[in-house]
Amino acid sequence: MGEKKNIDIGGLSFAWDLEKGQFSFEGEDAILFWISSAMKTLFDTIEEISGEEAASVVLETTGFRQGLVVGEYFQNMKGVTVFEAAELITDTYASAGWGKTTIKYLNPESKTLSAELKDSWEHKINVVQKKTKGGNFLPAHYAGIFTGLFGTNIWYKVIQHQIEEHECTTVEYFPSNIDITQNIHQLARRKEAQKIEHLQNVVAEKTAELKDLIKKLSSPIIPVLEGIVVVPLIGKYDEDRTEDLIVNTLNNLPKHQANYLVLDLTGLDKELTEYTASLIEKLGAAASLIGTKTILVGISADLGLVISETHIDLSKYDCFQTLQHGIHYALAQSGRSIV
């Protein structure tokens, strides 16, 4: 048969029913854990999965809500003052191994108090975790207790943590609009902001990579024959793309010893932008300064009509319908031909 035992310590009842595997504290089912191993593992796992910031909010919220249940229970007890309830609660917690909590100051009228927590189970876990800052489960827990006792939302401020080499953890409590719901929402907003920032960074990074790829592929400089370089103009041109192409082309013309720059307009968007118009003029003018003559090819009937409606003056350039005609012309000008 299983063994049953009951012990009273400091007026508090502890009971064991080994047959049922049951432990009771003050007539309620309870459970025991080793602090430095099992409870530490629980805390470590929560932080590992949720992240340290989210885990802190989880523990703070849990502590407050558990304390609220306790506070409301004692608040409903007839004939028990706030002072008596505070003493009962701290004595009960001490007997349950929660450490020594001393209420140093308590004013029911202003609903303020200060408390000292010494050698609490949370502090012991933080020590084993090698934390440098104390946890917020117990400070929030007592905020929940006194929220229940006072019937007013109470929040807290930790003045010092025992883990910071102080004799104890000192906490002040006061009425406040700050509550756990607000903290949860703030955490959610911070997480959302972090995700948005991450996505913005990814988009910016990919956009930069795409722009770099466009620079390399959209308007390549092609040395087709000795002294002849072809640059196809493709799509639309904005200010950045225009400047990039001009600089890249002018830097490479001397390298290829180009006498002729053939601009192929076949791939241009039919809706010419001001940058496209200026691109043709700037490229031609700049090329002429370094002794390179510009030839325009690929001007279709539609593109010719569009150009005629703009202020672009192409009369100073030799223009041909196809790239082949333009290359043949450049060769002929230097006394050569394709056989």
What pLDDT tens digit does each residue of the chain (339 aa) get? 457 788 887 777 889 888 888 888 888 898 888 888 888 998 899 888 888 888 888 888 889 999 999 998 888 888 889 999 999 899 989 988 999 999 999 999 999 999 999 999 999 999 999 999 999 999 999 999 999 999 999 999 999 999 999 999 999 999 988 777 766 666 556 556 666 666 667 767 776 776 676 665 556 788 888 889 998 888 877 777 788 888 888 888 888 888 999 999 888 776 766 677 778 888 888 888 889 999 999 887 777 777 777 777 778 889 888 889 988 998 888 787 665
64 near 143, Cβ under 8 Å?
yes
Q: Which residue has the tokens 């309830």?
A: 85
67 near 142, Cβ under 8 Å?
yes
Token representation of residue 271: 């809706």
Indicate whether this model's pTM tops 0.85. Answer: no
**CATH number for the segment(s) 219-333:** 3.30.750.24
Alpha carbon 180 to its chain's center? 22
Our CA dihedral for 191, 197, 203, 205, rounded to 10 degrees, sits at: -120
Sign of the alpha-carbon torsion through 125, 127, 130, 136: positive
Backbone dihedral region for residue 123 (phi beyond 0: left; psi -120 to 50: alpha; all else: beta): alpha
Q: What is the pLDDT of residues 253-303, one digit of tens each?
A: 888 888 999 999 888 776 766 677 778 888 888 888 889 999 999 887 777
Query: 89-95: long-range contacts at Cβ-Cβ below 8 A with a sequence spacing of 24 or more?
Result: 89/145, 91/10, 91/12, 92/12, 92/26, 95/9, 95/10, 95/12
**Rounded alpha-carbon distances, angstroms, from residue 33 to 36, 121, 166:** 9, 11, 26
Give the CATH architecture of domain 34-178.
2-Layer Sandwich (3.30)
Q: What is the pLDDT of residues 296-333, one digit of tens each?
A: 998 877 777 777 777 777 788 898 888 899 889 988 88
Token representation of residue 339: 């056989």
Residue spans of the domains in the chain: they are: 1-32, 34-178, 219-333
* Rg of the chain in Å (alpha carbons): 40
The DSSP-derived string for 72-125 is HHHHTSTT--HHHHHHHHHHHHHHTTS-EEEEEEEETTTTEEEEEEES-HHHHH
Task: Please name the residues in contact with 136: beta carbons below 8 A apart, sequence gap of 6 or more.
Answer: 56, 59, 60, 63, 158
